[in-house]
Amino acid sequence: MKKITRILSGFCAAALMTSSLAGCQTKNASSDVKTSGKEIPTLTVWTIGNQPKNLDEGLAAMNDYTAKKIGVKINLKVAGWGDWETKMNQIINTSEYFDFMFSDNTKYAQQVSQGALAEITDEDLKAVPGLTKLIPEDVWSGAKIKGKLYAIPAYKDSAQTEYWIWDEAIVKKYHIDTKNAITLKQLDPILREIKKGEGAKNKNFYPFIVDFDGVKGMLMNYDDMTLGLPTIGVRVDDPERKVVSVLEQPEVMEDLSILHSWMEDGIMNKDAAICTELPRYRTVFSTQAYPGLEKSFAINMDISDGNTVMEKMAGPVYTNSTIQGSLQVISKQSKYKAECLKYLELLNTDRTLRDMWSYGKEGVNFNYVDKEKGVVKRVIGMDWGLPGYAQGTSATRSVDEGVPTDQWEQIKKLNEAAEKSVILGFTFDREPVRNEVQNVRAVWDKYKNNVKTGAKDPHEIVPQVIQEMKAAGMDKIIAEAQKQIDEQFKK
């Protein structure tokens, strides 16, 4: 008996000690905020990228500028690309304090359903006319969840447009009609001819090279409902808004079969499923782009003397995922919601601040070549490391030297011409099927490289993948998604 009381009292003492410790710590933290909050509030901000060498210096310049302009400072923290997901999960799960952070289609819906984000009401938006004027209605609606807004989307190349990029020399040599070489089926005879011609000299020549991700843009006609699971989606132009199993669609199956035959016949690189690094030069490849980039691609491909030919492959398409590719979300706990919005307004409308975020400190990380038009040259070896796309619009941002100065006009044209996904504005609430989504994703992760690159015969592997996904609960996800879509679009 005596022993037990002694042990118990020991526990009590320990508990008391920790709780008293906790008490004094939280007090400290809150008083900190108060003292700094009196005059100029400092917002805690998370972004993504590689931490710049001179982050402190660049940040000081930013803070000087914004303190004068709107009376707000920030403490900028950078999460590495790969760490970002885990770190942000921890911050959200443990309600660690932050004011605003970068989010994207893979995390946004989840953060909203966890109740971590502050809703941005129409009232709030009235205070920031710069943002409402800049960002068009479609983009706002793509950032909404169940009709409510929790994020400021970055208005950039929000519509996805994929292009085929050809080496011009090859196009001329083989008299390729690039306009009629859009689908894989149309490409098939052309690539076989190139292989015959070029492959005669070098048997290791592959006219078509992809990495483990497969052909970029192949599945882009399906809106993945921000699930990040390309096997379930709604065709962007399907008026019925039917949720389907993407891999089982005949046209997808056909593309995969063609890829597999290319792999078999040496048209495509054999190591595609495990290839993480693409060679600089490729005869033809697909990528996201906008008109006018021919010469830049040629330089990237190491054929500076030559040129490239660009042909639109698919798009432009607005889906929720493409719009949610870059968002700034405000924490529910933030004491400075209005200041956050004001800061984001300035970031999206003021070129000086916009350039500081994406290029660093003037004179150290970059120099203006033409301040009027907004052309910058980065200082070699002083890479700022923070990607512009994750911060805000590209409308106000200067461009790198060599990039067409009318970049934004071109992008804007594509955005305005973009076809809207039939379910734009719908974000799948995955809470009811959370486990199923996780399980199906695990199955997909296991097979995706072999499927997307055609490394295995699709007639064998696809049924197997589908079967495993069904066992993992794919049908339930489809049914739930269909139910939610029907509910939202019934009216």
Q: What is the binding site for other proteins (CB under 8 A)?
A: 3, 7, 18, 21-22, 25, 50-51, 53, 77-87, 90, 93-94, 96, 104-106, 156-158, 160, 204, 211-213, 216-217, 220, 271, 276-277, 279, 287-290, 293, 300, 321-322, 324-326, 381, 383, 387-390, 394, 411
Minimal distance, residue 442 CB to other proteins, in Å = 15
Neighbours of 204 (CB within 10 A): 7
Minimum gap (Å) between residue 204 Cβ and other proteins: 6
Decide: 329 and 108 in contact? Cβ < 8 Å: yes
Least distance (Å) between residue 390 CB and other proteins: 8
Peptide bond preceding 316: is omega within 30 degrees of 0, i.e. cis? yes
Nearer to other proteins, 104 or 345 (CB): 104
Helix (H) or strand (E) holding 399: strand 399-400
Please name which of 487, 479, 178, 150 lies closest in space to residue 324, comparing C-alpha atoms. Answer: 150
Q: How far is the CB of 210 from other proteins (least distance, A)?
A: 11
Angle subtended at Cα 289 by Cα 393 and Cα 209, rounded to the nearest 5 degrees? 135
Closest CA to 75 of 13, 112, 30, 33: 33
Query: Which H or E run includes 286?
Result: strand 284-288
Please, which residue, 293 or 485, has the CB nearer to other proteins?
293
* Min CB(11)–other proteins separation in Å: 10
Give least dist CB 272 to other proteins, A: 12
Q: Which of 312, 283, 307, 281 is nearest to 296 (CA)?
A: 307
Q: Which residues contact 463 (CB under 8 A, 6 or more apart)?
A: none
Q: Cβ closer to other proteins: 119 or 213?
A: 213
Q: How far apart are CA 235 and CA 242, in angstroms?
A: 8
User: What is the residue-wise DSSP string for 115-174?
Assistant: T-B----HHHHHT-HHHHHHS-HHHHHHTEETTEE-EEE--SS-SEEEEEEEEHHHHHHT
Exposed/middle/buried for residue 188 (C-beta within 10 Å: 0-12, 13-18, 19+): middle
Q: By C-beta, is 90 or 186 nearer to other proteins?
A: 90
Query: What does the alpha-carbon distance between residue 112 and residue 417 come to, in Å, rounded to a whole number?
Result: 30
Q: Which residues, 6+ apart, have CB-to-CB distance to 409 below 8 Å?
A: none
Looking at beta carbons only, is 81 or 459 nearer to other proteins?
A: 81
Under DSSP, the state recorded for 52 is: P
Q: Are 362 and 368 in contact (CB under 8 A)?
A: yes
Full strand arrangement of the beta sheet holding 399-400: 366-370, 375-378, 399-400
Between residues 289 and 455, which has the closer beta carbon with respect to other proteins? 289
- Rounded to whole angstroms, the Cα distance separating 140 from 155 reads 9
Q: Which is nearer to other proteins, 86 or 438 (CB)?
A: 86
Nearest to 315 by CA among 186, 238, 452, 217: 217
CB-wise, 78 or 117, nearer to other proteins? 78
What's the min distance (Å) between Cβ of 77 and other proteins? 5
Looking at the Cβ atoms of 154 and 465, the one nearer to other proteins is 154
What minimum distance in Å lies between the beta carbon of 68 and other proteins?
Answer: 27
Q: Which is nearer to other proteins, 350 or 383 (CB)?
A: 383
Q: Other C-beta atoms within 10 Å of 479: how many?
A: 12
Give the nearer residue to other proteins in terms of CB position, either 234 or 289. Answer: 289
* Shortest reach from residue 35's CB to other proteins, in Å: 18
- Nearest approach, Cβ of residue 450 and other proteins (Å): 16
Residues in the chain: 491
Neighbouring residues of 392: CB distance < 8 A, sequence distance ≥ 6: 154, 326, 328, 344, 347, 348, 354, 357
Q: Which is nearer to other proteins, 216 or 430 (CB)?
A: 216
Minimum distance, C-beta of residue 17 to other proteins, in the bound complex (Å): 11
Q: How far is the CB of 375 from other proteins (least distance, A)?
A: 16
Reading the block at residue 253, the tokens are 């199956």
In whole angstroms, give the CA distance from residue 209 to residue 221: 22
Pick 278 or 471: Cβ nearer other proteins? 278
**Shortest distance, CB of residue 94 to other proteins, whole angstroms?**
5
